[in-house]
Amino acid sequence: MVTGGAGFVGVNLIKRLLDEGADIRATLHINKPVLNDNRIEYFYGDLRIEENCQKAVAGVDYVFMCAANTSGAKVMSTTPLVHLTPNM
């Protein structure tokens, strides 16, 4: 599973894993996948909710944590929880 499946790092990791023949589950916080490939299973949901997290990892062997809030340093200094909690 790759969290942050629509971000720069996540998309490039997914491409590499697909080249290696892996089956992929990718988590998204947006409604539209970046990659259109039938070997990718997309999971939509907030992984801070335990039930969603359990569903997302069911049957998964590895988890690559690539999700990040990319709003920048100003958000981190003014509202750190907004920046940190999605990356847990």
- Percentage of residues of the chain with pLDDT beyond 70: 76
Cβ neighbors of 57 (< 8 A, separation 6 or more) are 1, 63
CA distances 15 to 3, 29, 37, 61, 84, Å, are 14, 19, 10, 18, 27
SS3 5: coil
Mind listing the pLDDT tens digit for each residue in 45-80? 888 889 999 999 999 999 999 987 666 666 666 666
Percent of the chain residues topping a pLDDT of 90:
58
| 2-87 has CATH 1.10.1040.10 classification | no
Q: Hey, which residues does 42 pair with through a beta bridge?
A: 26
Length of the chain: 88
